[in-house]
Structure 1
């Protein structure tokens, strides 16, 4: 995986080192994975972005993969998005990038937009994949959402979550080696087999119901918005459009500029299922180029 990339560990806090893969030359773009993946979920996308002229940085978020897994705290701030976003900023600075673009998928998208909100002078462009803001999701909870996304509340609120998941992570996650690729599958499977990783990932969800929601509420009340150019992309064969109609319209009040949007012809794990299309859409967004990539307008960028 990741031909031409270097694998290293970078200390971003007193008790946290991130495992990170870095490759390519040019403006920096940080790719943030979702749950329960590691940075290896980007193994088909990262080389394409490097070939397009970017320095691509793919970390394991704290608690995930082989990054450090500090003990949780009662306030749920050790694994909250604000803390993880500070990790990303410290990582970029260590690599010599005062400004960088950030792309986040699933849980990683929450870290990405928190980085843009908390550190506007550092984030040049933002892409959020298969998500809406945490607060928006929680305020829209109904029976349909609670049935389809029940894991949010089991992981975020149940005292039994760690024991249940760690008892049989293969049965819980049902990872598909064929779709993921053998090495990516092996990396993620090793990660979710570690009880400390399971604990950390569950703490991420618990933070989502606590300090992450609080941070969103405070920002909305203060009128704070994402200042950089923002792309919202979602998977055609996931349920984002069913739940929210046009997810870009949900994001628009959180952004100062008009957002761009794209529909990726894949299931939820778009980086693994449609890497060429995703890389084309991201490259267009990162370049600030309004030209629609091959595949038609529904596959590329459109302005909302």
Structure 2
């Protein structure tokens, strides 16, 4: 049976909370099981262009499993602070995200948490676990494969010219052209519809993995099939609070992230990890995950026939994989209590 997703404007299953984390104000969705008691706490980390409400199909399932759910808007998004870049690029690194999330766990009085991530959120949860291995008991990632920290710096340009031409869009997102050209609520709505798969009357697309965003096609696209009008109203409202400078600044941190990771003690992860591959993802292709087991010593791999927005497009299948893994690997006997 399909899950009833969280309503973005009003839903009794969650509350909207705020926390001051290392000098920045974060917004997060917060939910506890109906009983008011929970087995464990899970943090859900979104990617681009998304917000905490991207987990609207997964939160109800996790609550039913007896987990306390915390889904933050990451730096630059929605109700969380959005320091301008330049000069605040350091606010958008993986290390900064890990430090902030660790502080949130401390404020919630948790000494161990579970993580879930999608897109950039997948990279954040891996690096969070790299930096805080004792704090993370288990994690799962949807679409995003694990990438080992590298002692040699590779620029985005080198990746695009070499093994990952489909990362060309990252150069466009980092260029400054996105926030310059998309800066009104209507423009943001068009941008989000296009990024979520909507097309124009002649199948025009606003996004190409190699070249980036087509500003010319933005006015041509219709509505995405992946969000209701109510959900799109909420997304547009949340993105309009700060604009796109913060969200696209995550694409400007490859070198700061690399510098941080030079001091990382361990490149492998030993906690149980679930990876769900989206077989039709044009950017995070399944081939990118082929060597993950070399770095992740306790890895479970699953797949869904979906594009990048698998959490919504194939919500039931993703939820089934996550639920089975949590029941068997995370909770074990607790899941039958």
TM-score (norm 2): 0.74
Q: What is residue 281 of structure 2 aligned with on the other side?
A: 238
Aligned pairs for 1:8-23 (under 5 A) are: 8-23=17-32
CA distance, structure 1, for counterparts of residue 281 and residue 42 of structure 2 = 25
Structure 1 segments unaligned to the other structure (5+ residues) = 291-304
CA distance, structure 2, for counterparts of residue 84 and residue 44 of structure 1 = 24
Q: What is residue 212 of structure 2 aligned with on the other side?
A: none
Q: What is residue 189 of structure 2 aligned with on the other side?
A: 170
Change (3 A) 1:128 1:118: same
Runs of 4+ with >6 A deviation: none
Change (3 A) 1:201 1:264: same
Q: What is residue 199 of structure 1 aligned with on the other side?
A: 245
Q: Secondary structure at the match of 1:245?
A: helix
Which residue, out of 239, 242, 252, partners 2:293? Answer: 252
RMSD between aligned residues: 2.7
CA distance, structure 1, for counterparts of residue 97 and residue 22 of structure 2 = 10
Structure 2 segments unaligned to the other structure (5+ residues) = 1-6, 197-222, 331-337
Question: Does the CA-based 8 Å contact 1:6-1:23 persist in structure 2?
Answer: no
Q: Secondary structure at the match of 1:67?
A: coil
Superposed displacement of residue 79, structure 1:
0.8
Superposed displacement of residue 144, structure 1:
8.0
Matched, 1:212 2:257: yes
Which residue, out of 140, 150, 155, partners 2:168? Answer: 150
Superposed displacement of residue 182, structure 1:
3.6
Q: What is residue 96 of structure 1 aligned with on the other side?
A: 109
CA distance, structure 2, for counterparts of residue 178 and residue 244 of structure 1 = 24
Q: Secondary structure at the match of 2:13?
A: coil
Please give the per-residue CA displacement for 1:106-133, whole angstroms capped at 9, x wherever unaligned.
0111111111000011001111221234
CA distance, structure 1, for counterparts of residue 248 and residue 42 of structure 2 = 27
Matched, 1:42 2:55: yes
Question: Does the CA-based 8 Å contact 1:166-1:198 persist in structure 2?
Answer: yes
Change (3 A) 1:287 1:35: same
Question: Does the CA-based 8 Å contact 1:130-1:240 persist in structure 2?
Answer: no
Q: What is residue 187 of structure 1 aligned with on the other side?
A: 234
Matched, 1:123 2:136: yes
Please give the per-residue CA displacement for 1:13-43, whole angstroms capped at 9, x wherever unaligned.
2232323332323211111111111111111
CA distance, structure 2, for counterparts of residue 27 and residue 250 of structure 1 = 30
Superposed displacement of residue 105, structure 1:
0.2
Question: Does the CA-based 8 Å contact 1:132-1:250 persist in structure 2?
Answer: no
CA distance, structure 1, for counterparts of residue 292 and residue 89 of structure 2 = 25
| Greater helix proportion | 1
Question: Does the CA-based 8 Å contact 1:39-1:60 persist in structure 2?
Answer: yes
Matched, 1:109 2:122: yes
Change (3 A) 1:45 1:211: same
For the pair shown, the structure with the greater C-alpha radius of gyration is 2
Question: Does the CA-based 8 Å contact 1:39-1:58 persist in structure 2?
Answer: yes
Superposed displacement of residue 246, structure 1:
5.8
CA distance, structure 2, for counterparts of residue 262 and residue 74 of structure 1 = 40
Superposed displacement of residue 68, structure 1:
1.3
Please give the per-residue CA displacement for 1:218-275, whole angstroms capped at 9, x wherever unaligned.
54xx54322211111121222367x45261x3322332x1311110232211221222
